[in-house]
Each structure stands twice: as structure tokens, then as C-alpha cells.
Structure 1
Amino acid sequence: MTIARLAQEIGKIARTDGSHPSAVAALSVHRLSARSDPLPCFYELGLAVIAQGAKQVTLGEQVMSLGPGQSLLTTVDLPVLAQITRADLAEPFLGLMLKLDARHILQLAAQMELPALPREQAPGAVSLSPLDQPLLDAMVRLLQLQDEPQLCASLAPLIQQEILVRLLSGPHGPYLRQLVAAGSPSHQIAQAMAWLKQNFVHDVLMDELAARVHMSPSTFRLHFRNLAGMSPLQYQKQLRLQEARLLMLNQALDAGSTAARVGYESASQFSRDYSRLFGAPPQRDIQRMRRLPADGA
């Protein structure tokens, strides 16, 4: 298999610009025929693969450029800036996103004979690596199930398990294993992030959140920033603003009502924070978003 074959299989599903579901629930494909502005969005636990074109992903001060054949693993929910940097009508951007299951990763890691993680292994939330041939083959086979709906339910879990096994044993492996290793800093911070995602509307004392995951406040803040590229309070703010954007897009709420729904006491502060993150005040940004195709960034 070649990366061109992967692009061909993605193109069969993504015939128009935007994000498209596949026959496999955890797998989506994405197409865009023009470069895009940087777009704030959240990346979940999953693997992104670029088949054609290029994109740039910014996490805090870390800037990653991805081209054909490269894969980006994210181990926790991360607020990033994503930008399509190479795409046109003749060769549109083509990529895929495979969401991963933390429980499945934990089960497989326990069954496999994997080398111990070095103690000095720094916690990491993202891993960038070229797609090796066996993993590329598995990705193509997963996409090809689109043409075999009668076999998809039986074969998709097997191919997805193969992909996870290859991820755990390859360059991305240490990052995944840090995530599921009980007691590791990455695992503790991931627990804090999951709690924040469920409770971001409420004001939270970060020292209490540190205690919840059995860390001192200073250690918690250090590891949180190392993993997420931002402080816990900045992370909570981005959760609120991303949810606000979805509410206004999907439920046609006004900015004042939305601000209260996501935990802001001041509508003017909400508008300032929103403009700083998304580059325009709420109403103008929502009007712009409704004119754009979803690019799956």
C-alpha cells in the first residue's frame, strides 16, 4: 500500500469539502479544497493521519507541521489551533481521524509484553510520527470496509485492535502507555482534565483539583502545563468558550444567555475572551462559521 492509496480511499468517502463519517463509527475522513485560517478546536484521544496536502497544529508554544504519511497521536482532550496549509481544487487536503478507547488501550497494554517506561520519560500529550507500512496497510483496510457493509461489524473491531497493538508497540507507544499507567503524572492529569470537562461550568479551586488527583498544587500545575501546553485555568476557559460556540451554532442562543450557561458571570468578559480566542465577537464569528464547511481540522 502507498499513501496515494490511502488518499484514494479517503476520497471515495469525502467527495465534497467537510467532515464525513465512515462505516466505522470511530473513523471520520476530512477534505478541504483550500487553505484555511487557524481554527481553535479540541482534539480528543485519537490518531490523525494526513494522506494529501498539509496542516499545522499549534499546542501552546509547540507548532507541528504535518504532511502526507504523517500521523499525530493525541492522548487527552487538547485545545489546539489547526490550520490547513496546503490544499487546492486539484489536490485537496485529505485526512482521517480515528478515535481511540482508553479502556481498550489499557486492556491491550496489560496483555502485551512491552518494555518498561523509563523513569525519566516526560509526560506528553501529543506524538508526531511517520506512518509505517503495516499501520498504513491497516488504515487502508479499515477504510475499505466502506465497500463491504455486511462484513464491517465483524472485521472493524479486529482491524482497530491491530491498529492499537501497532500503536502501542511503535513510536507512539510510550505516550499511550503513559496515559494508562496508573499513578503516572499523565494518568493523573488526564483524570483532572476529564473532571474539568464534566464540571467546567463551575468555578474550581485548582488546589482542590490537585488534591483530587493526589498531587501538590505546584506539581499539579507543572505537569498540567507540560501536558496541555497551558495552565488549568486557561484549559477551563477554553472548555467554556468551545462549548459556548457549539451552543450558539446549534441552539441559536444569544451571547448573554450563552455566557451564563457556560459559567461566566460577566457577559462583557465573555465577549472579550471569545474574541481573543476566535478572532471575532460572538455574533460575527457564528455568522462566519455558518458560511464555512466543516474542515475536520
Structure 2
Amino acid sequence: MSGETGSLRALLIGKICGLTEKQSPVTPLPGLTLSRIESPTEPTSYILPPSICLSLQGAKRVLIGNEAYTYNAESLLITSLDLPVTAQVVEASEERPYVGITWEIDMRSLTELIVESGIGLTAPGQVYRGMALGRVTRQILDAFRRLVELVDEAEHAQVLAPIIRKEILYRLLTSPQGPRLIQIALSTNRSRQIAKAVTYLKKNFQKTLKMRELASFVGMSTSSFYQHFKTATGMSPLQYQKKLRLCEARRLLLAGCDVTTAAFKVGYESSSQFTRDYRKFFGLPPSRDAQKLQNETYAAGELNSEEDH
């Protein structure tokens, strides 16, 4: 780690720790999440959109299918598809908390930048995994430092934030991980067809999945579609659909829905099968998991209320 890179990281850690003193995670700008966590966490499952994830201090592990990706101060995580993941902070303490940044990538802006710059317009139609680790550079850290500093400059953020975001996208596109973003942004390769299937599944996860019909919908043979979908997402289309259903069911349970109703709303025909799948994915039965999350939300709200006073 160079001295300049270390100084940039220290500046970001100090800034984020100040911003997250009362609440974590914090989302001060659209698409940007800042977090500080003082102890390792239990695995949590959710849908991670196309994003760049940095750990400025500590480490985090993300599972996609059966593959694990761990990133720390020297590495970053890039996702180029909406992916059901299971994540946990694996390195954190009160003395050295986990300090992280997650920035959601706007795919329309990415496509516009590719066209404008010409980067990757002749890229081959190879399908990459929709998640990868990359190296944290001084340029990436400096761009995020300027983006985070805009949290305290609301009057300038509307003009400057898009410029800094464009710089970050450019740095990503010209990095070794660029092809993973290019494959999704461009409409000239098979990866775009997989992205189309992902979008369809997100909108229609309650419906019974018919592989042949979905493959035909995106213009691929059934065998080719299955193979390329699994390459990109790390799981089969059926596994992907199941995880979408379970994440939506969790949201419904937190909103007050009962277990049976939530199961049928997301497409399950058997509440007992739903309970088994839910427990396997989230680690607790539906009702206990919902109660735990509600208690944590209530406790966090009480803490923030006390600190405000």
C-alpha cells in the first residue's frame, strides 16, 4: 500500500465513521450506502444490484451460489447483475470497525459512457460470472473520497456527483473487471440475453418457471440458456427464482404478512415447503426471523431517538 493510498483510505474511514456515528448504514446520496459495523455479523441474504463494494477497513464475505468472494482493504467487489447473495462481515471490532462503501451502478449511465468512449464496443460475446473481485487503486479511492465529501455539500452535489460517478465508471471500465460490466451494458452478446432473463424473473418470480418458454423468450436454446445463465449467476434459473421468492417473502413478513399468506403470494403451493426453504436460506424459520428483524429495527430506532435527544 502506497503512502498516498493509505492516506486516502484513512481520510475516507474518518469521514464515514463520522457520518455513521448515529446510524448505520447511511445512504446520503442516491445509490450510495456507507456503513460502519463494530463486530462480525451473521450471514444475511438479499438481492444485490449491479454495484461496486469497497471495504476500507475490515473484511466482508459474499456468497453467490456455492462460491465465496471475500474483499478487504486491498480489494473490491463488482457485480454486474441483480444477484441473490448471502453476505456477512467477517472482520470487525470496536477498535477497528468494518467500514464499507456500496455504490449502485446505473446501467443506463454505463451504456452511455461505453458508447461515448468506444470502450468495449468490439468486445467478444463471452459470458462472464456476474461477480468478480478487483484491485483497489488510488484513483478509485480518490474518486470515492470526493463523492463522500459531497454529503456535506448538498448545494454542489447535484452538479458534481454525476461527474464523479462518471469518473468511477470509467475507472471500472478500463480495469481488468471492465468486461463484466460491458457484457451486460451492450446488447450485442449473449450476456444481454441473460440480463433480459434476470429482468423477467424479477418481475414474474411468482409464476411457475418453464425453462423452454423462458429460453425462447430471450432467443436461446434451452440447453444454451441454462448453461449461460448458470455461468453468469452461479446458480440455475430455478434456484435464482427461489431466492427471489424468499427475499420477497421476507419483505412481506416484515410488513406484517402472516407466513401462509406470504408463501402463497410469492408463488409457493406448500407452506411447509416454503418454511423449509426459508430456514435453509435465512437460517431461521419465517416467523422467528421476522420477529428478530422487527426487534432489531425497533432497537435501532430507539437508539437513534435517544441520540437525537
Q: TM-score, normalised by structure 1?
A: 0.94
8 Å CA contact retained: 2:125, 2:183: no
Give, in whole Å, the separation in 1 of the partners of 2:146 and 2:232. Answer: 33
Q: Relative contact order: is structure 1 or structure 2 higher (C-alpha 8 Å, sep ≥ 6)? A: 1
> SS state of the match for residue 36, structure 2?
strand
8 Å CA contact retained: 1:79, 1:238: yes
- When structure 1 is superposed on structure 2, of 284-293 and 224-233 the one drifting more is 284-293
1:7 aligned to 2:13?
yes
Give, in whole Å, the separation in 2 of the partners of 1:49 and 1:190. Answer: 24
- When structure 1 is superposed on structure 2, of 267-276 and 235-244 the one drifting more is 267-276
* Aligned 1:65-214 pairs, distance under 5 A: 65-114=70-119, 119=124, 121-214=126-219
The partner residue of 2:34 within 14, 25, 29 is 29
For 1:264, the equivalent position in structure 2 comes to 268
Q: 1:15 to 1:52 in 2, by over 3 A?
A: same
Q: 1:116 to 1:103 in 2, by over 3 A?
A: closer
Q: Which amino acid aligns with 1:170?
A: S
Q: Which amino acid aligns with 1:53?
A: G
8 Å CA contact retained: 1:56, 1:64: yes
For 1:224, the equivalent position in structure 2 comes to 229
- What is the CA distance between 1:17 and its match in structure 2? 5.6
For 2:4, the equivalent position in structure 1 comes to none
1:57 aligned to 2:62?
yes
8 Å CA contact retained: 2:61, 2:70: yes
Q: Which amino acid aligns with 1:264?
A: Y
8 Å CA contact retained: 1:17, 1:33: no
Give, in whole Å, the separation in 2 of the partners of 1:28 and 1:115. Answer: 29
> SS state of the match for residue 25, structure 2?
strand
Give, in whole Å, the separation in 2 of the partners of 1:261 and 1:80. Answer: 22
- When structure 1 is superposed on structure 2, of 216-225 and 24-33 the one drifting more is 24-33
Structure 2: stretches of 5+ with no match in the other structure:
1-6, 301-309
Q: 1:260 to 1:17 in 2, by over 3 A?
A: same
Q: TM-score, normalised by structure 2?
A: 0.90
- What is the CA distance between 1:230 and its match in structure 2? 0.7
Q: Which amino acid aligns with 1:280?
A: L
8 Å CA contact retained: 1:124, 1:186: no
The one-character-per-residue Cα deviations of 1:186-227 (angstroms, maximum 9, x if unpaired) are 211011001110111111211101111111000000011111
The partner residue of 1:20 within 19, 26, 33 is 26
> SS state of the match for residue 146, structure 1?
helix
Q: Identity over the aligned pairs, expressed in percent?
A: 37
For 1:274, the equivalent position in structure 2 comes to 278
8 Å CA contact retained: 1:35, 1:85: yes
> SS state of the match for residue 20, structure 1?
coil
The one-character-per-residue Cα deviations of 1:134-183 (angstroms, maximum 9, x if unpaired) are 11101000000012111111111111111111111122211111112213
For 1:289, the equivalent position in structure 2 comes to 293
Cα RMSD for the two superposed structures: 1.8
Q: Which amino acid aligns with 2:96?
A: E
The partner residue of 1:45 within 47, 50, 72 is 50
- What is the CA distance between 1:243 and its match in structure 2? 0.3
